[in-house]
Amino acid sequence: MRDFFDKMKNDLGIILNDVQKNAVMKTEGPLLLLASPGSGKTTTVIMRIGYLIMEKGIHPSRIKAVTFSKASANDMKERFGKFYPDLPSVDFSTIHSFAFEVVRNHYRKLGIPFTIIEGDHDSDEKAGSAGNFQYNKKLMLRHLFKSVVGENITEDQMDELTTYISYIKNKVIPIERWSEVSCDVSQAEEIFKQYEELKRSDPHHVLLDFDDMLTMSNDILEKDKKLLSHYQNRYDYFLTDESQDTSLVQHSIIEKMVSTHRNLCVVADDDQSIYSWRGAEPSYLLKFKEKYSDASILFMEQNYRSSEEIVNVANSFIKRNKNRYEKNMFTQNPSQQPIEVKHLVNFKEQSKYLVQELNDDVHLKEIAILYRNNSSSIGLMNDFDRAGIPFYMKDADNRFFSHWVVQDILNFMRMAFTDKRPDILEKIHLKFNGYITKQQMLALKQLNNNDSVFDNLLNHVKLQDYQVKLLKTSKETFKEMKNMKPLIAIRVIRDRLGYDKAIEKISKSLGFRMDYLVGILNTLEEIATDLKSLEEFAKRLKHLEVVLKTAKRKKGHDAITLSTFHSAKGLEFEKVYMIDVVDGIIPSKEDCTDHLLLEEAARLFYVGMTRAKKQLTLVTYPYRDGKKVEESVFVTDVKNILDPTRLMKSEPIKKQVKKINGVPYNPNSIKKKEELQVGLTITHRVFGPGEITELSEEFVTLTFQSKEKKLSISACLDMGLLEPLIHT
């Protein structure tokens, strides 16, 4: 035993602490290894595998290591090769690839062909050109959405719908309970049912998406005892990494695999569980002893990454959460500099501040700017590109430039140059205050005389009296726009032509988030600032689209990393700037409706903080998009940790608002379940006035002006979210 650790020290210079050594040597039976950020998790795991082989005499082929992502699996395999160049490799893979192997063997045995209907091998374009929409998940869903809803699905709706489907499958939720899962996409449950029926329509050819591989594999191992026994006998030791991100169905597969020998090492950090929205089951870790009563639990709490200041504040911050293992992260790293909270005048100053901060920095590769939403990166990218600051986009999202709001604005501008194209008008005719109906649009398209679309409407199409003046005014406005600066033109589109009001109406009818759409428009205004012409604006958008694609390929270059909090997990940088840390973004309004969501948002914030080695800056502001915003409650928590006397100092000046789980306490809120009844009109702290339309043991269904929400009764009562409008 000592020889092994001495050999690793001499050969690789690796020295483990006592907890890490215990994790390496605890090879038999179930083990939960809770690894705090920067605690040397991967090194410990690779050492443990080496110990099994070199000290216990286990052949590498008898060891299975399952990771959360393909990148993690490749990283572990590469690390193993560097540590033990003379040993055969262990079987490193993702849970999906393991499930695929199970499914493939099953259907080969039955002689039934199957097709995976998503992934790089089967792109939308390829499937579409072949006419085989039934072999492509997204095209299937687009077809079904159009059939059921009567509209074309947007990219945002596609994301929401696929997340909904994945969540249900990973949680193994039966069909009779699908309606309990909230989804903002209209008739999502019906589309999901038809999607499953469409996949099963050919009994001689099985169609599977990635989540089906998991559920199918789980079912196969449950029913096919011979196949299960084959895999159980194949591996003597199982290890799962990043297990806080593992879903219920994935846990179920692992449980089956280890049920005979129970040699399972689960590596996780419940404080870094940030994927519950796609089915991750962090509560599984908290109940680990219920599943494995003889399990050992080890806490790797020493952080080797970050400075004393960052570790101490992050450790205190995460203790705001209650559903977690009690841990005390610590470090022996030296002091660096205090965490800085940067207060700017408004949101627009954020990019300017970062450009000024980073323009002369020579160690760009060691700097990261982190944000919650991908939309935060577009304005940054625009200003960094202008300033000549190189950047790498960790999870670049080109969809901003193809978003229907962006395309609408470009079509408005195209109309300023030519009002003779009904095809352009057709794309925006419902989105400005001409109130052109679909029937009027159809009549206009039949004219085909190459005259002004406005003249044709006024002279040849039957209009309502009120439309005549509006269309004449609109024609003049479009003419004026041709010579406007793009920033002024966008404001004219939003205000005089009524685009903002039109998309507000669309948002209410289709369940879009108005604040998100307004954010896109405001970003377009930022891009338009200082540009001279509409042509220049269109070229700038094209240029930025190319810049974004290029930024994806700058990994490893001397460039600043721009990343969401989610994608930054596992990374580390000398300097980290966390931006847009305001209430409504982190935590979001939705987070504040449920204490479990609020705790996950806190974990996400914690992940961002713990990416920093020496310098951490939180950037906040009081105004965004012309509206007052509050600094994130998480920033307030950090400030209180940095200066515990703040609350006492401010008490005489302003009475402190009592908070529960970070949400202001409402003394008028409904406290008892008995007070809830169908038909009761209430006001919800986040969603506003509404009515209770359905009640069950666990859930209350509320109908608001723009959408229906099914919420946890216990969360609503615990957090004081509901207040009666009519006191009964």
- Cα-trace Rg, the chain: 28
pLDDT confidence of residue 647 = 62
Position 399 pLDDT exceeds 90: no
- Using alpha carbons, select from 419, 99, 101 the residue that is nearest to residue 250: 99
pLDDT in tens, 494-540: 999 999 999 998 888 777 878 888 888 989 999 999 899 999 999 99
pLDDT confidence of residue 133 = 59
Q: What is the Cα–Cα distance from 654 to 22, expressed in whole angstroms?
A: 51
Secondary structure of residue 630 in the 3-state scheme: coil
Residues 6+ apart with CB under 8 A from 384: 351, 354, 355, 390, 391, 560
Q: What is the Cα–Cα distance from 585 to 400, expressed in whole angstroms?
A: 18
For 340-396+552-654, the fitting CATH number among 3.30.1340.30, 2.70.150.10, 3.40.50.300, 2.60.40.1180 is 3.40.50.300
The residue type found at 198 is L
Residues 6+ apart with CB under 8 A from 478: 412, 415, 416, 419, 454
Contact 26, 298 (CB under 8 A): yes
Tokens 């990343």 correspond to 563
pLDDT confidence of residue 706 = 61
Q: Between β-strands 63-67 and 91-94, what pairing exists: parallel, antiparallel or unpaired?
A: parallel
Tokens 């002091």 correspond to 335
Contact 127, 136 (CB under 8 A): yes
Fold of 401-541: PCRA; domain 4 (1.10.486)
Q: What is the Cα–Cα distance from 51 to 48, expressed in whole angstroms?
A: 5
How is residue 309 written in tokens? 């200041």
Contact 247, 276 (CB under 8 A): no
Position 655 pLDDT exceeds 80: no
Q: What is the Cα–Cα distance from 280 to 277, expressed in whole angstroms?
A: 7
Q: What is the Cα–Cα distance from 656 to 640, expressed in whole angstroms?
A: 13
Position 712 pLDDT exceeds 90: no
pLDDT confidence of residue 101 = 92
Q: Which of 362-366, 557-561, 643-647, 659-663 has the lowest mean pLDDT?
A: 659-663
Q: Which of 40-49, 129-138, 168-177, 434-443 has the lowest mean pLDDT?
A: 129-138
Tokens 């004081």 correspond to 720
DSSP codes joined into one string, 510-525: HT--HHHHHHHHHHHH
Secondary structure of residue 207 in the 3-state scheme: strand
Position 397 pLDDT exceeds 60: yes
- Geometric angle at alpha carbon 428, from 422 and 430, rounded to 5°: 110
pLDDT confidence of residue 123 = 34
Quickly count helices (H) and strands (E) in the chain. 32, 23
User: What Å distances lie between residue 253 and 206, 221, 249, 250, 283, CA to CA?
Assistant: 21, 8, 6, 5, 17
The residue type found at 268 is A
Q: Which of 1-5, 254-258, 285-289, 310-314 has the lowest mean pLDDT?
A: 1-5
pLDDT confidence of residue 662 = 54
Say how many C-beta atoms besides its own lie within 10 A of residue 644's C-beta.
9
Q: What is the Cα–Cα distance from 266 to 35, expressed in whole angstroms?
A: 10
Residues 6+ apart with CB under 8 A from 395: 374, 563, 564, 566, 567
User: What Å distances lie between residue 237 and 245, 250, 300, 313, 470, CA to CA?
Assistant: 21, 17, 21, 37, 74
pLDDT confidence of residue 59 = 95
* E strand or H helix at 709: strand 708-712
Secondary structure of residue 553 in the 3-state scheme: coil
User: What Å distances lie between residue 374 and 365, 370, 380, 585, CA to CA?
Assistant: 20, 10, 11, 12
Position 129 pLDDT exceeds 50: no
Q: Which of 68-82, 105-119, 460-474, 703-717 has the lowest mean pLDDT?
A: 703-717
pLDDT in tens, 613-638: 999 999 999 998 778 999 999 999 99
Tokens 């207060």 correspond to 343
Sheet with 340-343, edge to edge strand ranges: 340-343, 612-620, 573-578, 367-371, 560-564, 391-393
Task: Report residue 717's pLDDT band, with 50, 70 and 90 as the boundaries.
Answer: confident
* E strand or H helix at 708: strand 708-712
Q: What's 236's DSSP letter? A: S
Instruction: Name which residue leads in pLDDT, 603 or 650.
Output: 603
Sheet with 699-704, edge to edge strand ranges: 708-712, 699-704, 688-695, 681-684, 722-724
- Using alpha carbons, select from 33, 19, 91, 82 the residue that is nearest to residue 236: 91
Contact 364, 389 (CB under 8 A): yes
How is residue 569 written in tokens? 């997990």
- Using alpha carbons, select from 37, 209, 231 the residue that is nearest to residue 114: 209
The residue type found at 625 is D
pLDDT confidence of residue 653 = 41
pLDDT in tens, 685-701: 777 788 888 888 778 88
Q: What's 530's DSSP letter? A: T
Instruction: Name which residue leads in pLDDT, 710 or 292.
Output: 292
Q: What's 326's DSSP letter? A: -
Q: What is the Cα–Cα distance from 432 to 497, expressed in whole angstroms?
A: 5
Q: What mean pLDDT value characterizes the chain?
A: 88
- Using alpha carbons, select from 63, 26, 23 the residue that is nearest to residue 40: 23
Q: What's 631's DSSP letter? A: B
How is residue 686 written in tokens? 């986040």
pLDDT in tens, 55-89: 999 999 999 999 878 888 899 999 999 999 999 99
Contact 236, 62 (CB under 8 A): yes
pLDDT confidence of residue 124 = 35
Tokens 């004026």 correspond to 480
Q: What is the mean pLDDT of residues 299-305?
A: 96
Q: What is the Cα–Cα distance from 215 to 39, expressed in whole angstroms?
A: 33
Domain ranges of the chain: 2-99+215-302, 114-203, 340-396+552-654, 401-541, 666-724
Fold of 2-99+215-302: Rossmann fold (3.40.50)
Q: What is the mean pLDDT of residues 466-476?
A: 91
Q: What is the Cα–Cα distance from 342 to 618, expressed in whole angstroms?
A: 6
Q: What is the Cα–Cα distance from 546 to 541, expressed in whole angstroms?
A: 9
Q: What is the mean pLDDT of residues 146-171?
A: 90
Instruction: Name which residue leads in pLDDT, 717 or 23.
Output: 23
Position 657 pLDDT exceeds 70: no
Fold of 666-724: Thrombin, subunit H (2.40.10)
pLDDT confidence of residue 728 = 43
Q: What is the Cα–Cα distance from 364 to 352, expressed in whole angstroms?
A: 17
Contact 560, 390 (CB under 8 A): yes
pLDDT confidence of residue 660 = 53
Domains 2-99+215-302 and 340-396+552-654 share a fold: yes
Task: Give me the percent of the chain exceeding a pLDDT of 90.
Answer: 60
User: What Å distances lie between residue 676 and 370, 523, 685, 700, 719, CA to CA?
Assistant: 41, 42, 16, 8, 15
pLDDT confidence of residue 128 = 34
Task: Give me the percent of the chain exceeding a pLDDT of 70.
Answer: 94
Q: What is the mean pLDDT of residues 104-126?
A: 74
Position 118 pLDDT exceeds 80: yes
Position 120 pLDDT exceeds 70: no
φ and ψ of 436, to 5 deg:
-75, 125
Q: What is the mean pLDDT of residues 420-426?
A: 91
Best mean pLDDT range from 253-267, 546-560, 668-682 = 253-267
